[in-house]
Amino acid sequence: MFAALFLGVAMTAIAADHIDTAAVKVEQRVIETRRDIHQHPELGNRETRTQKLIVDRLTSLGIEVRTPIAHTGVLGILHGAKSGKVVALRADMDALPVEEQVDVPFKSTVRATYNGQEVGVMHACGHDAHVAILLGVAEILASMKQELAGTVVFLFQPAEEGAPEGEEGGAALMVKEGALDNPKVDAVFGLHVTSRFAVGELAYRPESMMAAVDSFKIVVHGKQTHGAYPWLGVDPIVIASQIVLGLQTIPSRQVDASLAPSIVTVGMIRGGVRNNIIPDSVEMVGTIRSLDAHMRDEIHTRIRRTAENIATSGGATASVTITPGYPITFNDRALTETMAPTLRRVAGADKTLVVNPVLGAEDFSFYQQKVPGLFFWIGTRPKNVTAEDAASNHSPKFYVDESGLLLGIRAMANVAVDYLKK
């Protein structure tokens, strides 16, 4: 028994050393790939250039390629020389409708049409880094094919930021079209670069890590009248204002705030065309963020009740539409505990952070609904910049310190190899 344990530890160390050496060798190519993708960003379900780059690179490595999937996605399948489990590694591909304000030589100047409007396009959330990192990992693992006990599925996924209006896309469509089925995936891993953490830091959380996100639309129907005689009508603007305030009591007063944080945000109100006309109706739209599945359902029920009852009290009516979005990004506890030693070994115990959940969302959660998954963050904030001063993801000033990509390469390669060994 002790001999077998010693042999297992020794083999893990050998594999880790190989990965670290190989990661240093591919680092510059990863950086160059990231810059290329950054300079040529593409919006969700339109990532055709990025798709071709991925297909060409995987093919050159001798990795089986399956495409198309989910419009512009790519599956890469690497069969190890030995039989074993199947692990999936995911990278998202799409950029955002943001005009870049970062002064780098590979700055994006791309423009495109988004929902009928001409916009600048930028990798303002680091998906260019994710693709480049996973291609680097593919190169490393392909070189270890003879030592791999199992199969690695590389998931290059479009439209994480959402598909264009009227289209399906993202992780939900990848799952729907069988990305996890053939071969049948046993576990899935993903990462995200972020300016919340400094270069060298790796962060994760067991169980609920990122929020479920849903959208809502409330239309308040009143009765139009002259602004000088409000009593002759029903003012939907006043009632809508009361509903906005009422919605804020749901996360603060109506659900257990000690269980998990939640947010109900109204992001847009539209109604009326003139200063002296009380309009017939007002529309408001917003977002719901929650970290507990039961609480998520509770909040939906209470939004309907709050809007409808406040409207009734003022003589109006309210129609409420809630559209489900991404589920909770939920790190499987058993998988997380199993892989935590790998994360600490790769980043160092003092740089591996167990952090609070956030109310941002990730469609990686759709994979986690099908198979156990672990999602973690890689810091790409320059060490001389504070978290408060760093531009956040989705900002036109979002900046990736490329020296942080090496940790992403090592982390993804090591969790894949260690999972297959375990």
Residues known to be catalytic: 326, 402
Contacts of residue 351, Cβ cutoff 8 Å, sequence gap at least 6? 200, 201, 202
CA distance readout (Å), 184 to 2, 180, 187, 236, 365: 33, 6, 9, 53, 18
Compute the distance between CA of residue 359 and CA of residue 361 in angstroms, rounded to an integer: 6
Tell me, what DSSP letter sits at residue 106? T
How far apart are the C-alpha atoms of 186 and 373, rounded to whole Å? 9
The CA distance from 130 to 205, in Å, is 20
Q: How far apart are CA 4 and CA 228, in angstroms?
A: 87
Please state, in angstroms and rounded to a whole number, the distance separating the CA atoms of residues 269 and 236: 11
What span, in angstroms and rounded, lies between the C-alpha atoms of 74 and 58? 10
Count of other CB atoms within 10 angstroms of residue 94: 28
Q: How many CA atoms lie within 13 A of 118 on its CB side?
A: 3
In 3D space, the residue among 77, 117, 373, 325 whose CA is nearest the CA of residue 213 turns out to be 325
User: Residue-wise over 259-268: b if at least 16 C-beta within 10 A, else e?
Assistant: ebbbbbebee
**How many CB atoms are closer than 10 A to CB 82?**
12
The alpha-carbon radius of gyration of the chain (Å, integer) is 24
DSSP label of 204: E
